[in-house]
Structure 1
Amino acid sequence: MSCPVCEAETAQKYRPFCSKRCADLDLAKWLNGSYALPSQAPEDMDVDVSTEEKAPNRPH
């Protein structure tokens, strides 16, 4: 098995990674959203810009 970050041989202590550095890099990607999966939920979809442009101005 190879490290998913650098493809080096894995170390038992840090498995599936080869080192603490690669494990930390992977964790950082999860924490900053690099590994985020796109959502198909309607409430997460961006609002259609053309609909927003047609809507009357509302006070905040």
Structure 2
Amino acid sequence: MTGSDIPPRTVRCPGCGQFSIYASTNPYRPFCSERCKNGDLGAWANERYRVEASPPVEGDDAEH
């Protein structure tokens, strides 16, 4: 079996859930399309996705 005999890897698009080819031939990977990729970027830009963090505690200096 050579490298060309291996079927391309498919993954679920994080944007719409459809199957997407995860290979260098798909410029939007892991997304299935430019639309899904831009939708995800827009969600980050509009702060719909966030990383939880606690506010700093007064008197707790990270620099020692």
Who is 1:10 aligned against? Answer: 20
User: Aligned pairs, how many?
Assistant: 43
Alpha-carbon offset, residue 7 of structure 1: 0.8
Unaligned runs of 5+ in 2: 1-10, 58-64
Give the structure with the larger helix fraction. 1
Q: Deviations 1:16-46 (Å, cap 9, x if unpaired)?
A: 0000000000000000101111211326xxx
What is the identity, as a one-letter code, of the residue corresponding to 2:13? Answer: C
The aligned residue for residue 48 of structure 1 is: none
Q: Which one has more relative contact order, counting CA pairs under 8 Å at least 6 apart?
A: 2
Structure having the higher strand fraction is 2
Task: Compare CA radii of gyration and give the structure with the larger one.
Answer: 1
Determine the structure 2 residue equivalent to 1:47: none
Give aligned-pair identity as a percent.
40
- Runs of 4+ deviating beyond 3 Å: none
- For the aligned residues, what is the CA RMSD? 1.5
